Amino acid sequence: MKNYTLFFNHISLNNIPTVGGKNASLGEMINEMSSLGINVPNGFALKTNAYKEFLSINKLAPIIKDTLSALNVSNITELESAGSLIRKAILSSKIPLHIEMEIKQSYFKLSQQYGVNNVDVAVRSSSTAEDLPEASFAGQQESFLNINSAEKLILHIKKCYASLFTNRAISYREAMNFNHMEALISVGVQKMVRTDKSTSGVAFSIDTESGFKDVVLINACYGLGELLVQGTISPDEYLFFKPTKAIIEKKLGDKAKRMIYDGTKSEDPTKIVPVSKAKRDSFCLSDDQIKKIGNAVVKIETHYSKKLNRWTPVDVEWGYDGINNELYILQARPETIHSNKLNGAIVQYEIDKEEGVSPILEGVAVGDRIGIGKVIVINNLKDISSFKPGNVLVTEMTDPDWEPIMKMAAGIITNKGGRTCHAAIVSRELGIPAIVGTKNGSTALKGHKEVTISCAEGEIGFVYKGKCKFKKSIFNASDLPDIKTPLMLNVASPDLAFKFSFLPNEGVGLAREEFIINNYIKVHPLALLKHKSIGDSELTHQINKITKGYSSEKEFFITKLSHGISKIAAAFYGKEVIVRFSDFKSNEYRNLLGGKYFEPEEENPMIGWRGASRYYSDEFKEAFELECLAIKKVREEMGFTNVIVMIPFCRTIEDCEAVLSIMKEYGLERGKQGLQVYLMAEIPSNFILADQFAPYVDGFSIGSNDLTQLTLGLDRDSHLVSHLYDERNLAVKELIKLLIVKAKNHGVKVGICGQAPSDFPDFAQFLVELEIGSISVTPDSILKTVSAINKIEMRTLKKVS
């Protein structure tokens, strides 16, 4: 006697040929990971033999073969007609009675297990073609939620069978040269988790954009997770760092709608309702919940990596039950996009923006590529026949039915969606640049003929009018020559840190707080603390808008700054990351929101109130306290002890003593818990008095830009004297030589974080010959700097020999 159903607790990965990848994974987790605290709702699989018998008895195989044999999938009309014919044939057929009876018996057994008459279940397709090493077929078929009767279950099983022949599934199999008749389908019937009363989402045990493997990316929304996957809403986004179990980023999504159970008699078992403003403006997960999800995903990744004997990143669907508040894992599968592409090649795109070129639209960047093409705005699926290869697709949002034209696109732009929506997932897999969540892309780009899509500038994607020039560099890190001089990176944007971590490096020689404050905080720190007493209602309104989701303005600043720093520290974990305290000049601080109330107007801010002298001043020390507390959080709470702090623009020994004293007052003490303090050596006094500065610091980092202007007495921002500006001037080089010699005498490290070594090979030679401790350059200079240093070191070696 044949058995057509199998409960999850009798399934493992060995059962993929009969229950498909999705069901096999559920069984594997229930049997192997329950003891580790991984909760998976129970259920059963309808095996592939039921599908084969369904096709045979209803004589559907000849219909499918004949319909698809001469199909041209590039012809959208023809594809739609073929898919529709097959789906109608499947839905009008009957599941054999003996199979139907076994399905109902298993459903009643599952209902009894949960103590109800008709248990609410999710009905999901589970294909045997899912997650093959060469292709990911996941997400090609349908899922149905809150199915709560045996009769509805039978109907929705047929709908799962029919979804094997949606337009996108047919097109995808054709593209992957996969035989349609070999794509067998199982159906998973799983107890629903009441996420309609709580939260749900997806998580990846890898950064989906860069392939960085030490984080868990979590997307979350209120209610059932279908709206998140569809891209109908912008979810909250969180990053969990695996080695230290720290949350290193939180982004507030709009979450304007949620899907819940429909308690009425309507045919649709779910409905979509609005989310209150208070909930939209709050993170939908607590820190404890984020960490619980992160830890669960790490356990699942570890299990599959051991089981498959290779590192296996995973893609997980999760949900919190609103009745018992427990976390449940609803699905887990191997992540196939980045794990298939980790071949050692490093590809870099860099856009060449001509002067005056500014973006006309922005949104969430997917991938790191650049695309150029003619804009085609499509608002309805029936209009997709107008789309041609090489066009840029602009639409409200995509769903799987759009996939046949998505693979022809030079780029994709959507109004809605987040990093894990349908458009993002498919674009990533196809290697097409996409910008999602633009809000108004389909209207803003009307009338534009050609645009450039840039996803190469961080997490924000930009759309530029017309055709922009760009360059593409491809190299393999293993092909670069070995060098003795430690080469570090200058990293400004936390958004690009994961990507830069794949470059050859010895850590980060300079991470600027100014970039994080300017781009992520956007408000003057004193305006955050004191805006209510200023009496500017518009300023208060803007600050309230920016700080939504946080309990206070102080918490907002500390959290945002700590997350920006920790993201860079995570990317280079195990290596030194030198973080410079804020070095805004007064005119730059004035440009921040509310800055005009706290900043003087100086004639020459370049040599005015900046750096060390600010930190201990009565006017600014409240703001500096926030910086110290953020660093303390990064090192002591989040575990990034690889972070070193650096004091900029420190004019005198008294300056240095005062800053160290106030740092200690705010919880940062040099030497305590391994804290190192560096001095940005950029003022001639730092070099001349290096013997006196050395006892107060653990290292010097030479800032050649300010050193050059102060040594030569010129303003580097003035075009009138720019022809005199040259880091290779003998006076500048003599000061550098003096510092290196004196620092070595005191056993203090010296590095340089200016651009000169990468721009001028002779300057790099000068530094290498002085045996400088490290050279730190911008990531786009890494190739030429490595080559230049290698040539210098080889010449030096020949001279010695």
- Asked whether the beta carbons of 557 and 528 are under 8 A apart, the reply is yes
User: Beta-carbon neighbour count of residue 792 at 10 Å?
Assistant: 20
Give the residue from 472, 505, 509, 473 showing the smallest Cα distance to 491: 509
User: Beta-carbon neighbour count of residue 107 at 10 Å?
Assistant: 22
Can you tell me the distance from the alpha carbon of 210 to that of 238, in angstroms, rounded to the nearest whole number?
16
Please identify which of the residues 221, 284, 421, 753 carries the catalytic annotation: 753
* Apex 201 CA angle, 199 and 204, nearest 5: 145
Q: With left for phi above 0 and alpha for psi between -120 and 50, is residue 59 left, alpha or beta?
A: left
Can you tell me the distance from the alpha carbon of 570 to that of 315, in angstroms, rounded to the nearest whole number?
21
Which residues lie across from 352 on neighbouring strands? 469
Between the alpha carbon of residue 377 and those of residues 107, 441, 442, the distances in Å are 46, 9, 6
Q: What are phi and psi of 6, to 5 degrees?
A: -145, 125
- Asked whether the beta carbons of 490 and 505 are under 8 A apart, the reply is no
Establish how many alpha carbons lie within 13 A of residue 717's alpha carbon, considering only the half-sphere containing its beta carbon: 4
Task: Return the C-alpha torsion angle 206, 208, 210, 212, nearest 10.
Answer: -10
Can you tell me the distance from the alpha carbon of 294 to that of 636, in angstroms, rounded to the nearest whole number?
20
Distance of CA 61 to the CA centre of its chain: 43
The one-letter amino acid at 616: Y
Please identify which of the residues 180, 303, 422, 563 carries the catalytic annotation: 422
The one-letter amino acid at 165: F
Q: Active-site residue 455, yes or no?
A: no
Can you tell me the distance from the alpha carbon of 136 to that of 138, in angstroms, rounded to the nearest whole number?
5
Instruction: At 345, list the tokens.
Output: 């090649």
Instruction: At 257, list the tokens.
Output: 């709608």
State the angle between helix axes of 167-175 and 76-91 in degrees (0 to 180), rounded to the nearest 10. Answer: 120
Give the residue from 201, 256, 270, 135 showing the smallest Cα distance to 421: 201
* Apex 792 CA angle, 742 and 579, nearest 5: 50
Give the chain's end-to-end CA distance (angstroms, integer): 83
Between the alpha carbon of residue 428 and those of residues 170, 327, 338, 393, 787, the distances in Å are 20, 28, 9, 15, 32
Which residues lie across from 459 on neighbouring strands? none
Q: Active-site residue 422, yes or no?
A: yes
Can you tell me the distance from the alpha carbon of 350 to that of 284, in angstroms, rounded to the nearest whole number?
36
- Asked whether the beta carbons of 26 and 188 are under 8 A apart, the reply is yes
- What DSSP assignment string belongs to 555-576? HHHHHHHHHHHHHHHHHTTTSE
Give the residue from 693, 686, 701, 690 showing the smallest Cα distance to 749: 701
- Asked whether the beta carbons of 224 and 259 are under 8 A apart, the reply is yes
The dihedral built from the CA positions of residue 150, 154, 157 and 163, taken in this order, carries a sign that is negative
State the angle between helix axes of 525-534 and 621-632 in degrees (0 to 180), rounded to the nearest 10. Answer: 130
Catalytic residues: 422, 753
